[in-house]
Chains A and B, each alone.
Chain A
């Protein structure tokens, strides 16, 4: 839902970033207001996933230029855990397995960290179990997963559901979902998309990072951005995604060539 007067949650200006010696982002500009759903599309290596990691504060990435403002403050000053507590959420493309750490305990500590930030009281184990059981419905997840170690032995689809469950518990203001659709069969995709739709509202925003149209058939974006060579090459409405579906990314090379860059440099 686009409302020009809605408050700005996230503003990315001229963002450049690299990992080790490799420059990946080359001037990303993006404004996200509350209520909006953005889709960021692009080929492998275009910088989509890097953008999501940089937003979450992954230590392997170095910002070389530009700024990110989140809720009016400098996001880059914040540790990853502070970002989460302030309502920035990254749904991982490959959620890591953490043997030994109980999923339920993990979810409770994480939820309480966010609640404390919001000035809400901590939930004890019983109150939390009630909450988590209610939120499990959002992703139609089996409660048995709560008693396992974090993501350990979960299938691809179960991991993604666990991500959306965390989103349901943390009630983020800006949720970035990195390739949440990858590796999901059609039923799992529908469940995950339903979950995202249930959680999207006028006061929060969602950034979907995806390759394919199929997720966007289920979650309608307000904006579609096409990334290439570490920047947003074109922005449009949901019809842009449909156009991409038809024409592929060939035109991107053309456009980059017009900008005087070799496609090889892009990859």
Chain B
């Protein structure tokens, strides 16, 4: 008979922990104004961007690293991080055939085929390796519809006016400590522009891979949906296993105009550290979208399974009348992982609506917190929010915390919050087992049942992936 406990099940080896042996161009460790200038000049950036970076750097120098989330980690030595690393290939290649086969192989191993014949049909992929984008598929096909999908470095060169118009307008460079750091040193990331009235004909996806041990990753993503446009975008992330911690401080800005919509999904599987909490990524990310136009719509969906520490609150500023914000999240923590994640729904305009569904699963000695803010401003007449935060605890060493701030200044509005805590009980497991369902499958059924409301929100191509990822995390040494 199986004597495995649910706790055993959530421990399974990380499958993306390999390192690609490739020659990399790195600059020296450390951060200074010169480093910021060097990054900008390496990327041959226009003046406005250098100014943006320098302003952010100076702001960052004045700021303190935040401590309110009560996350436990040693002080980060920002002078011991490399701020720019790129695989050595001169230019971004016009054709994938010229891309270093080692890179293609890396992404293939990660399940992201980039070569023409193996591509995921109907999904365009931008692959980012350490600090730079190495390939973007389906660019031409997208261009036929007027959709721009490229790395942000290319966008800076090819569409500087668009970048200058929108960059830093949703998340100002002094928004918070890590956003300021990112604004000063961001390396690459994705840029998406969907023009008026266009429904993006395929899923867009960016895949982030950290490879170097001592490199910070600071990508920057900017997505703009003009009036009546819509797009669904997905990002995935993995990193090798190192016993040191790597810093990942990304910024994602979404701009949504009248009647437009952006659906932004994340499957985050950065290396989480080993079972003793050694190594893993510090994932300090700022994500925010502005529903600027009336009837605009932003939907964040995230499946967070990796990273030693996650600190992330994808948010919506609902300015346009009747605009809609959504946040669907699954966060799984195990061993010594710490996740502090949630969302902010800022209701500014009238009749704005928001929905929050957060599912936290904590196992091992991990700590999993939902922290959210729902704010109904004085002009948000008729605004509505509904939040649901559920925690599942596996084992009696894991922590589940819920901190839902609510602030309202508008009587004609309604805010509803519900939270519950559950566990996988021995009786439930036995019931499923006594119907012929194996222990692992029983646990996985219950976990994915717990998460179903969130998985239903993922693009179809990835819903199965997410289910599999959780199952993988839950799979392990039974018997």
Chain A residues with CB under 8 Å of chain B are 56-60, 77-81, 83-85, 90, 92, 95-96, 98-102, 105-106, 109-110, 113-114, 117, 149-150, 166, 170
Q: How distant is the Cα of A166 from the Cα of B431 in the complex, in angstroms?
A: 12
Q: Which of B431-452 contact A (CB under 8 A)?
A: 431-439, 441-442, 445-446, 448-452
- Distance, CA A261 to CA B428, complexed state (A): 37
What would 8 A/B residue contacts be, using CB atoms closer than 8 Å? A57-B434, A60-B426, A84-B433, A99-B449, A101-B445, A106-B432, A113-B437, A117-B436
Contact between chains at A170 and B428 (CB < 8 Å): no
The 6 closest A-B pairs by CB, nearest first: A100-B449, A113-B436, A84-B436, A80-B433, A101-B449, A110-B435
B445 near A109: Cβ-Cβ < 8 Å: yes
Report the minimal beta-carbon distance from A232 to chain B, rounded to whole angstroms: 23
- Given the complex, which residues of B lie within 8 Å of A78, measured CB to CB? 1
Q: Are B439 and A96 in contact (CB under 8 A)?
A: no
A137 to B452 CA separation, bound complex (whole angstroms)? 29
A59 touches which one: B426, B436, B445 (CB < 8 A)? B426
Say whether B427 faces chain A, with CB atoms less than 8 Å apart.
yes
- B434 and A105 contact, CB distance less than 8 A: no
The verdict on A100 contacting B2 (CB below 8 Å), with A85-B436, A114-B436 known, is no
User: Chain B: how many interface residues by the 8 Å CB criterion?
Assistant: 26
B450 to chain A: closest residue by CB = A100
- Contact surface of B with A, Cβ cutoff 8 Å: 1-2, 422, 425-428, 430-439, 441-442, 445-446, 448-452
- Nearest chain A CB to B425's CB is how many angstroms away? 7
Question: Across the interface, which residues of A come within 8 angstroms of B434, CB to CB?
Answer: 56-57, 80-81, 83-84, 90, 92
Please name the residue on chain B nearest to A91 by beta carbon: B434
Q: Are A96 and B425 in contact (CB under 8 A)?
A: yes
Return chain A residues, CB-CB under 8 Å to B446: 98, 100-101
**A111: min CB distance to chain B, Å:** 8
Q: Which of A59, A90, A109, A149 contacts B437 (CB 8 A)?
A: A109
A169 vs B230: C-alpha distance when bound (angstroms): 46
Contacts of A92 in B (CB 8 A): 431, 434
- CB of A59 within 8 A of CB of B422, answer no
State whether B445 touches A79 (Cβ < 8 A).
Answer: no
Q: How far in angstroms is the closest Cβ of chain B from A233?
A: 28
A110 to B441, CA, bound (A): 11
* Chain A nearest Cβ from B472, distance in angstroms: 18
Not counting A100-B449, A110-B437, a sample of 16 additional A-B residue pairs whose C-beta atoms are within 8 angstroms of each other reads A57-B433, A59-B430, A60-B426, A80-B1, A80-B430, A81-B438, A81-B439, A84-B436, A96-B427, A96-B431, A100-B452, A101-B432, A101-B446, A105-B445, A106-B432, A117-B436
Give the interface centre of A78, A81, A110 by most chain B CB atoms within 10 Å.
Answer: A81
Task: Report Cα–Cα, A78/B434, bound state, in Å.
Answer: 11
Give chain A residues whose Cβ lies under 8 Å from the Cβ of B449.
Answer: 98-102, 149
Known A60-B426, A96-B427; contact A106-B436, beta-carbon cutoff 8 A: no
Tell me the complex Cα distance, A170–B450, Å. Answer: 26
Output the least CB separation between B427 and chain A (Å): 5
A170 to B422, CA, bound (A): 30
A13-B429 Cα distance, complex, nearest whole Å? 28
Q: How far does the alpha carbon of A104 sit from the alpha carbon of B439 in the complex, in Å?
A: 19
Please name all residues of chain A whose beta carbon is closer than 8 Å to the beta carbon of B432 when the two chains form the complex: 98, 101, 106, 110
Measured CB to CB, the closest approach of chain A to B82, in angstroms, equals: 44
Chain B residue nearest to A110 in the complex (CB): B435
Asked whether B422 lies within 8 Å of A99 as measured between CB atoms, the reply is: yes
Q: In the complex, which residue of chain B has the Cβ closest to the Cβ of A92?
A: B431
CB-based nearest A residue for B452: A100
How many angstroms from the CA of A110 to the CA of B431 in the assembled complex?
11
Do B436 and A81 touch across chains, with their CB atoms under 8 A apart? yes
Closest Cβ neighbor of A112 among chain B residues = B436
Contact A170 B433, CB 8 Å, known A59-B1, A101-B445, A101-B449: no
Nearest B-chain residue to A97, judged by Cβ: B428
Query: Is there an interface contact between A170 and B436, defined as CB atoms closer than 8 Å?
Result: yes
Question: When chains A and B are docked, how far (Å) is the Cα of A77 from the Cα of B189?
Answer: 55
- Min CB distance B456 to A, Å, is 12
Q: Are A110 and B436 in contact (CB under 8 A)?
A: yes
Measured CB to CB, the nearest residue on chain B to A81 is: B433
Q: Which among B434, B441, B449, B450 has the greatest number of chain A C-beta atoms within 10 A? A: B434
A100 to B431, CA, bound (A): 15
Distance in angstroms from A163 CB to nearest chain B CB is 10
Nearest CB of chain A from residue B125's CB, rounded to whole Å: 30
Check if A79 sits within 8 Å of B2, measured CB to CB: yes
With contact pairs A56-B434, A59-B430, A84-B436 given, residues A109 and B441 touching in the complex (Cβ less than 8 Å): yes
Residues in A neighbouring B448, C-beta threshold 8 A: 100
Complex interface: chain B residues within 8 A of A98 (CB) = 428, 431-432, 446, 449
Chain A residue nearest to B438 (CB atoms) is A81
Residues of A with C-beta under 8 A to B438: 79, 81, 113
Chain A residues, CB < 8 A from B451: 100
Residue on A with the closest CB to B435? A110
In angstroms, Cα B446 to Cα A109, docked, is: 13
When chains A and B are docked, how far (Å) is the Cα of A100 from the Cα of B435?
A: 17
Set of chain A residues within 8 Å of B426, measured between Cβ atoms? 59-60
A79–B433 alpha-carbon span in the complex (Å): 8
* Bound Cα distance from A31 to B89, whole angstroms: 77
Complex Cα distance, B309 from A216, in Å, reads 61
A109 contact set on B, CB distance < 8 A: 437, 441, 445
A234 to B1, CA, bound (A): 32
Measured CA separation A81–B446 after assembly (Å): 16
A247 CB, nearest partner CB in chain B, Å:
35
Chain A residue nearest to B427 in the complex (CB): A96
Q: Which residues of B contact A84 (CB under 8 A)?
A: 433-436
**A169 to chain B: closest residue by CB:** B435
CA distance A99 to B453 in the complex (A): 12
Report the minimal beta-carbon distance from B439 to chain A, rounded to whole angstroms: 7
Task: Tell whether, in the assembled complex, residue B437 and residue A58 are in contact, meaning their CB atoms are under 8 Å apart.
Answer: no
Whole-angstrom distance between the Cβ of A242 and the nearest chain B Cβ: 32
Given contacts A100-B449, A113-B436, contact A57 B1 (CB under 8 A): yes
Inside 8 A of B425's CB, which chain A residues have their CB? 96
Question: Within 8 Å CB of A105, what residues of B?
Answer: 445
Q: Could you tell me the distance between the alpha carbons of A102 and B450 in the complex, rounded to whole angstroms?
A: 11
Complex Cα gap A78–B472 (Å): 25
Q: How far is the CB of B455 from chain A (nearest CB, A)?
A: 11
Residues of B within 8 A of A149 (CB): 449
Supposing A81-B436, A81-B439 touch, asked if A106 and B427 sit within 8 A by C-beta, the answer is no
Give the distance in Å from the alpha carbon of A79 to the alpha carbon of B2 in the complex. Answer: 6
B1 to chain A: closest residue by CB: A79
Of chain A, the residue at the smallest CB distance from B441 is A109
The docked-state distance in angstroms from the alpha carbon of A14 to that of B446 is 37
Which of B1, B441, B446 has the most chain A CB atoms closer than 10 A to its own CB?
B1
